[in-house]
Structure 1
Amino acid sequence: MHSSSSTGTRLCLKSVLQSTPFKISVLATALIIPFHSINASKTNQYSHVIDHNKLTVVSVKNTSTVFSNNQFKHGFGYDLVRNYAQSLNVKLEFKTVPDNATALKMVAQGKANFAMTTASMQQVESRHLSYFSATCGDFTALKKNGLNTELNWVFKNADDPLAATANGYICQSKQNGTINQLASFYNRNAVKATEWDNIQRDLTKRMPIYKASFKQNAQRYDLDWHMLAAIGYQESYLKPESISPTGVRGLMMLTNQTAKAMGVSNRSDPVQSIQGGAKYYDLMLSKYQNIPYPDRNWFALVAYNMGPNAVDNIQKRIKSQGKNPNQWINLYDYLDRNKANNGRYKQAVQYVTRIRAYLEHIKTTPNLVDI
C-alpha cells in the first residue's frame, strides 16, 4: 500500500495483523502504516464493518472490475471483493459509479469503506488516500488474461485495520491460487478477437427470429433472456437444425432423454427447444439454490453441459480436499486443473467461459438488446 502521509513508517503486514482479528500465514507486500495509530482505541472502519454487518465498496464498471447490468453482477474485481466480504462474514453493498474521481471522493467522504479502481497514483494521493494492488502484485495473472494490471483497492486511512485485513486477504488469495483462477475465468481473450465479427453477424441475423421465444420462456421461469440466448448461441450458434456426433440436437442441443423429461416432442422445433432448454436451465438453477449468484449461474451452466451427477461427483472430491464445494472458484479450479486429462472438463471450462463472454456481449451491444 502507498500513503501520502509524511509520518508513514514501512511495516510488514505480519506485524500489523498481530493487532487485528484477522490472521493469515503469508507476508504481504510492503504496507506503509503509521505506528502511532495501529492500536488506537478510536472507532475504525474495520470495527464499523463488523458491528454493522456490512461492507460498502464502490467501483467503476469495466472489464477488470465488474460487469453490472441491473441486478446482474459478476467480474474479476467484484468476485474478489465478494469473497473478501464472505471472509469477514458480512454483507456486501457494492455500488458502481461513472468514474474513478467519484469513487475516490466517496472513500474520502466516508461514504464507502474502500474503492476498487484503476485510478492513477497521482489521483489517489491527491486526495490523501492509500492504496495497494488488488492482486498483491500478481500482475502476470492479470496481463495474460487481458485484465488491467493497475487495479487497486483504495482506503481512506492506511492505519485502519480494515486496510490490513484486506491486504492480507489479497495476498493470501495470491498464495492459494484464487487470484490466478479468478483471472483465468474472467479471461478477456476467452473468445478470440478475430471471432467477434462472425459472432456479431450471427447474432444480428438470427436473434430477431428467436428473441420472442427467449423472452417468453425467460418470463415463464423468471430467468434472464440474455442468458438463454447466450446458452443457445454456445450450443448451436442459434441453428435449430444442429446435431452433434453424440446425438444431441436442436437450438438448445437437448439429449433425447432430457427433451422428453422437459416435455419436448420435437427437438428440431426451435420454439420447443427453447422452452425445453429454459425449463432445464431453471431446474439446474433450482438444484443449486443454496449457492448465491453469480456463482449459481456458473454451477447451473456446468450442470447443463456435463449433467448434474457429474457436478455432484466433483463436489464430493472438492469436499474431500477440505474445500468448500459450493464455491464457484473451487469448482472452476478443479475443472481447470484436470482438463488436460479429461476432455469433458476442458469442454465444461470452455462452455461456461464462452457463455459468460457472449452474455456480456449481448447485454452491452445496443443493436442486440434492442432487436
Structure 2
Amino acid sequence: MHSSSVSGSRPCLHSFKTTLPLKALAFSTMMLPLHSINASKATYQFDTVVNQNRLIVVSVENPTTVFDKTTHLHGFGYDLVRSYANSLNVKLEFRTVKDNASALNMVKSGKANFAMTTASFQAIEDKHLAGFSATCDDSSVLEDNGLNVNLNWVFKHANDPLSQNASAYICNTKQNGTISQLASFYNRNVVKDESWDIIQRDLTNRMPIYKASFQSTAETYDIDWHLLAAIGYQESYLKPNSVSPTGVRGLMMLTHNTAKAMGVNDRTDPSQSIEGGAKYYDLMLNRYSNISYPDRNWYALVAYNMGPGAVSQIQSRLKAQGKNPNSWINLYSYLERHKASNSRYGQATQYVTRIRAYLEHIKSTPQLVNL
C-alpha cells in the first residue's frame, strides 16, 4: 500500500493485514534483506519505538481527544492511546497542539510516531500521510455519546509495521467492547444541554462563597481544588444544609461515621465539611496508590460514593474472571453491566461521570476559575 493511502470507509483490518504484536513484528524485520531493514529504519517509526522504548503521540486538544487543563490528563482519545502504549509495553509521551495541521506536520517531519486528529481523510491524504478511524469505522459509538466522529490515527506510512499493529489493535479493541465503554464514560451528553444553564447559575452564585475553602483545603491534601468543588457540587449543589433521607449531611454529604472519623464536629459547617470530604477523598486516593492517574481519581470517586469495601468486592470478582482489577475500564464495565440488578452500581457510574463533566466545565469556564 502506498504511503499516501488511507483506510477511508473500509474497516481498518481490511487495510492492514497483520495482527502480530509489536515484539513479534520486531522479530519479523530480522528476516528481511539487509537493504530492506536499512530502508525501514530510515523511513518507518516502528524501529524508533522499539529501540527507544517510547511512543510519541501528538494530539489535537478537544473534548473528544484529551482534556488538557488538569494535573492528570484524561479523555476518550487519550485513554485509548494510553491503552495502546500499555499493550506495547512502552512509555507514552503525549503532546498536545491546538490544530490538526500542527499535528499532521509533526508526523510528517518525524517529530511524532503518530497523531490523533479530527482532520478529514482528504487533509490527511493531501499531506501524503496514512490514517484510519480510531473506532475501526464505527462512528456511531462516538456519535451516540456526543463525541467527534472524525477521530483518526495518522501515520507517516501505511505500510509501517507500527501503523499496521495500531490498526489491528483498534479493531480488536472495538470487538472486545473497550471502545464502547470508554465512549460511554466520556459521554458528552451525560448532562443535558438545558441543565448547564442551571449549573452555571448555581456555580456562579455559590462558588465565590466556598472557593477559598476549596483552594486552601485542596492545597493541604495536594488535590485539584476544581475537582474538590466538582465533588461538592455533585454531592449537594454546594448547599451546606443539605441532608439526605439516609442521614448524610452537609456540603460534602458525609455520613455520621465518616465525619466522626475525619474529625468533623459539625457537618453543616461548610469549612469543616470540605475539610472532612477532602481528607476522606485523600484516603481513598492513597488506598489506590498502585493505580496510575487518571484511573486513580475514578477509583477513589467510586469508593467515596459506594465505600471502599464495595470496590474491593468488585475487584475480587474481576480478578476471578481473569481481568485486571486495577483497570478503570474493567471496573466501569462491571458497574455498567450489573447496574440493573444493583442500583448502587448505576448511581456510582452516574456519580463519577457527572463529577468528570463538572470538573471539565469548571476548568474550562474562565468566569468560574477567576471568580
The two structures have a TM-score, normalised by structure 2, of: 0.92
Q: State the one-letter code of the partner of 1:149.
A: V
Q: Pick from 16, 19, 22 the counterpart of residue 18 of structure 2.
A: 16
Cα distance change on mapping 1:2 and 1:99 into 2, 3 Å: farther
8 Å contact kept, 1:146–1:188 = yes
Residue 239 of structure 1 and its aligned partner are, at CA, apart by 0.2
Partner deviation per Cα, 1:29-60 (whole Å, 9 max, x = no partner): xxxxxxx99x9413232221122111100011
Q: 1:110 maps to which residue?
A: 110
Q: 1:357 maps to which residue?
A: 357
Residue 71 of structure 1 and its aligned partner are, at CA, apart by 3.3
Cα distance change on mapping 1:11 and 1:134 into 2, 3 Å: closer
Q: Secondary structure at the match of 1:115?
A: strand
Q: State the one-letter code of the partner of 1:125.
A: E
Counterparts of residues 168-247 of structure 1 (less than 5 Å): 168-247=168-247
8 Å contact kept, 2:22–2:88 = no
8 Å contact kept, 1:213–1:271 = yes
Counterparts of residues 145-156 of structure 1 (less than 5 Å): 145-156=145-156
Q: 1:57 maps to which residue?
A: 57
Q: How many residues align?
A: 355
Query: Mind listing any 5+ residue stretches in structure 2 that lack a counterpart?
Result: 7-11, 26-31
Partner deviation per Cα, 1:244-301 (whole Å, 9 max, x = no partner): 1110000000001100110101101000000000000000000001101000000000
Query: Mind listing any 5+ residue stretches in structure 1 that lack a counterpart?
Result: 24-35
What is the distance in 2 between the residues matched to 1:104 and 1:279? 44
Counterparts of residues 116-131 of structure 1 (less than 5 Å): 116-131=116-131
8 Å contact kept, 1:67–1:360 = yes
Residue 69 of structure 1 and its aligned partner are, at CA, apart by 1.0
Partner deviation per Cα, 1:172-197 (whole Å, 9 max, x = no partner): 10000000000000000000111000
Residue 20 of structure 1 and its aligned partner are, at CA, apart by 5.8
What is the distance in 1 between the residues matched to 2:188 and 2:2? 29
Q: 1:78 maps to which residue?
A: 78
Cα distance change on mapping 1:241 and 1:70 into 2, 3 Å: closer
Partner deviation per Cα, 1:302-340 (whole Å, 9 max, x = no partner): 000000000000000011111100000000000011111
8 Å contact kept, 1:22–1:165 = no
Q: 1:320 maps to which residue?
A: 320
Counterparts of residues 241-256 of structure 1 (less than 5 Å): 241-256=241-256
8 Å contact kept, 2:3–2:156 = no
What is the distance in 2 between the residues matched to 1:121 and 1:140? 18
Q: Secondary structure at the match of 1:94?
A: strand
What is the distance in 2 between the residues matched to 1:336 and 1:11? 29
- % identical aligned pairs: 67
Residue 72 of structure 1 and its aligned partner are, at CA, apart by 2.8
8 Å contact kept, 1:131–1:152 = yes
What is the distance in 2 between the residues matched to 1:76 and 1:243? 35
8 Å contact kept, 1:218–1:224 = yes
What is the distance in 1 between the residues matched to 2:176 and 2:58? 26
Residue 16 of structure 1 and its aligned partner are, at CA, apart by 2.6
Cα distance change on mapping 1:269 and 1:150 into 2, 3 Å: same
Tell me which stretches of 4 or more aligned residues in structure 1 moved more than 6 Å: none
Q: 1:298 maps to which residue?
A: 298
Partner deviation per Cα, 1:211-266 (whole Å, 9 max, x = no partner): 00100010000010000000000000000000011100000000011001101011
Residue 18 of structure 1 and its aligned partner are, at CA, apart by 5.2
What is the distance in 2 between the residues matched to 1:117 and 1:172? 20
Q: 1:141 maps to which residue?
A: 141
- When the two chains are superposed, the root-mean-square deviation of aligned CA atoms in Å is 2.0
Q: 2:28 maps to which residue?
A: none
What is the distance in 2 between the residues matched to 1:206 and 1:148? 33
Cα distance change on mapping 1:2 and 1:287 into 2, 3 Å: farther
What is the distance in 1 between the residues matched to 2:82 and 2:217? 30
Q: State the one-letter code of the partner of 2:355.
A: I
Residue 22 of structure 1 and its aligned partner are, at CA, apart by 5.3
1:163 and 2:163 are equivalent in the alignment: yes
What is the distance in 1 between the residues matched to 2:22 and 2:234? 47
Q: Secondary structure at the match of 1:368?
A: helix
